[in-house]
Amino acid sequence: MKKSQLYTATGDQGTTSLIGGQRIDKSAPRIEAYGTIDELNSHIGLLAAHMTADQMLAPRFPMIQSRLFDIGSSLATPPSADTPPAPGVDAAEIADLEALIDEVDAALPPFRCFVLPGGSVAASQAHVARTVCRRAERRVIALSRLEPVDPACIIYLNRLSDLLFAVARRCNVAEGCPEVIWNRRRDR
- Does some domain include residue 13? no
Rounded distance, CA 2 to CA 83, Å?
Answer: 27
pLDDT per residue over 99-115, tens digit each? Answer: 999 999 999 999 888 88
Question: For residues 26 and 15, is the Cβ–Cβ distance under 8 A?
Answer: yes
Sort 142 into a burial class: Cβ within 10 Å, 0-12 / 13-18 / 19+.
middle
**Phi, psi (5° rounding) for residue 24?**
-145, 150
For residue 100, being part of any structural domain is answered with yes
Classify residue 117: in a domain, yes or no.
yes
Within-domain flag for 104 = yes
- Whole-model pTM? 0.89
Q: Could you tell me if residue 89 is inside a domain?
A: yes
State the burial class of residue 158 (Cβ atoms within 10 Å of its Cβ: 0-12, 13-18, 19+): middle
Judge whether 175 lies within some domain: yes
- Structural element, H or E, at residue 15: strand 15-17
- Name, in order, each residue with C-beta under 8 angstroms of 95's C-beta and a sequence gap of 6 or more: none
Quick one: CA dihedral 59, 72, 85, 3, positive or negative?
A: negative
Q: Report d(CA 77, CA 98) in Å as an integer.
A: 27
Given this model, what pLDDT does residue 17 score? 67
| Least confident interval from 21-25, 65-69, 125-129, 154-158 | 21-25
Number of domains in the chain: 1
Instruction: Supply the range of the domain harboring residue 135.
Output: 25-182
Dihedral over alpha carbons 62, 117, 50, 153 (to 10 degrees)? 10
Predicted confidence at residue 49, as pLDDT, reads: 97
Residue 129 lies in a domain: yes
Q: What CATH number is attached to the domain comprising 80?
A: 1.20.1200.10
- pLDDT tens digits, one per residue of 37-88: 999 999 999 999 999 999 999 999 999 999 999 999 999 888 775 776 677 8
Share the mean pLDDT of the chain: 89
Work out the percent of the chain whose per-residue pLDDT is above 90. Answer: 65
- Pairing between strand 23-25 and 15-17? antiparallel
169 domain-assigned: yes
